Structure 1
Amino acid sequence: MKLSPPRPDRRRFTRLALASGVALAAPRAFAAETFDPYDEVITDGPARITRRISGLSSQKWEDHFPTLGNGAILCNTNDRVLHFWGEDGFYKIYPTSVPLTDELTRRGRTEIVLKRPAPEWRPTPNMLERNPDLPKYVGPGPQNPLGVRALNLSWQYYLIHGTNDIRKIGRQSSSGCIGLFNEHIIEVFERAKIGTQVLLI
């Protein structure tokens, strides 16, 4: 009798992957359960891999910043990861979501100008132009697309924030912001300061 190979333990794989900081694939046909204006519209075909699984390769801060005063954040939109260096030597890499298109992606140097521990959300004028049906305001809580923390950058409307929809991480799924798992944005939020330098590449 021919024996079939054992079926993979998907739950164990998911736990191991998340523990290592890897963004997992999500089916394209998965229906949205909560409001999220950053979600891609998913209408076609069977389940497919829509996320990029990054190797999360480390970087040297000296290759991107002149100093670690106030800490430093590097957002790599190609690899879909955020590198955080603290001025105390702390270093960690986090998987992220990135903008939907290159047109929505802003690159260059900026800094954190505001830390919001319970962010409220309002669509930008460009978002309302693209989708007039968006709500004009969403308060803090499980329906908020900014998750549990938000860091405002010096560029108007650009943020590093959490998300209540973990399917977004590892995907091109935002209107310009960089998104992290809620547990990861909490870590970054606690270590980042007003004036922390940020570079998007």
Structure 2
Amino acid sequence: MNIKTLIVSALCIGALTFGASAQDRYGQRPPVVLSPDLTAPWVTQLRQKGTAHGAGTVVRKRRAISRQTVNRRHNTRVASVRSSRAKQTPQMNPVYLPQLVDYATSQKPGTIVIDTPNRFLYLVLGNGKARRYGVGVGKPGFEWAGTHRVTRKAEWPDWRPPAQMIEREKKKGRILPTFMPGGPANPMGARALYLGSTLYRIHGTNQPWTIGAAVSSGCIRMRNEDVVDLYERVGNGTKVIVI
């Protein structure tokens, strides 16, 4: 084979190779198949989106349950506090609530009779009847008896403790004010009926659980509701008998 023949053969082989290469480059390509490693991120994202949606539902449910739990716990605490307060605060015996009773007496209607030993105040109505209220009376050493008349009435009276009371309580370590204006915190309560020229009076109290006990310094104390009721039924000049 001469040199000319070799050159022609080489050119033919090159042409064939170029044609095949061109077909490979510009011909129709086979579909691209993503490997599992490449598709994994997309699958993960899809799962995350689905999970996020589901998680949102779970979160909402958890939040709803959480609110219910909080409300239930709050209600339980409130009930517990109320129960604790009820146990700590003494309750008044219901026998001392106002009621209409039979009452035989020679006193005229409108007279007030205070039965110290039994802790009752009677407002005589006549015809063998009386309106009975529970009261708190003087503690041992401060009991008294006698007959007076109501000389003054006051709504939400102020309180001016006597000097003897201030000194007595000071020895116990309790400092009393020399003056306290009327109001719910005032131990004189909602109403007061002043008896003669004495320091004694029939008055309300901010400690209703003491009704039925001997706890005062000689005054007759009533529940605020009861002293308001009595206040409306009697006037100045009413006879008051303490036995």
State the TM-score, normalized to the length of structure 1.
0.66
Answer yes or no: is the 8 Å Cα contact 2:112–2:122 preserved in 1.
yes
| Corresponding position of 2:183 | 141
Structure 1: distance between partners of 2:129 and 2:154: 22
Q: Match of 1:137, SS? A: coil
Q: Match of 1:183, SS? A: helix
Answer yes or no: is the 8 Å Cα contact 1:58–1:93 preserved in 2.
no
Structure 1: distance between partners of 2:192 and 2:128: 23
Answer yes or no: is the 8 Å Cα contact 1:95–1:180 preserved in 2.
yes
In the TM superposition, 1:130-169 aligns within 5 A as 130-132=168-170, 133-169=175-211
For residues 53 and 112 of structure 1, do their structure 2 counterparts lie closer, same or farther at Cα, with a shift above 3 Å needed? same
- What amino acid sits opposite 1:98 in the alignment? V
Q: Which runs of 5+ in 1 are unaligned?
A: 1-25, 32-46
Q: Match of 1:131, SS? A: helix
| Corresponding position of 2:153 | 115
Q: Deviations over 1:56-91 (max 9, x none)?
A: 8642231xx2x33xx200111100010012579973
- What amino acid sits opposite 2:104 in the alignment? K
- What amino acid sits opposite 2:159 in the alignment? W
Structure with more contact order per residue of length (Cα contacts < 8 Å, sep ≥ 6): 1
Answer yes or no: is the 8 Å Cα contact 2:104–2:129 preserved in 1.
no
Structure 2: distance between partners of 1:78 and 1:58: 18
In the TM superposition, 1:59-98 aligns within 5 A as 59-62=103-106, 65=107, 67-68=108-109, 71-86=110-125, 91-98=130-137
Answer yes or no: is the 8 Å Cα contact 1:150–1:159 preserved in 2.
yes
State the TM-score, normalized to the length of structure 2.
0.56
Answer yes or no: is the 8 Å Cα contact 1:110–1:153 preserved in 2.
yes
- Residue identity over aligned pairs, in percent, reads 33
For residues 135 and 180 of structure 1, do their structure 2 counterparts lie closer, same or farther at Cα, with a shift above 3 Å needed? same
Structure 1: distance between partners of 2:128 and 2:153: 22
Structure 1: distance between partners of 2:126 and 2:228: 18
Q: Which runs of 5+ in 2 are unaligned?
A: 1-85
Higher percent of residues as helix: 2
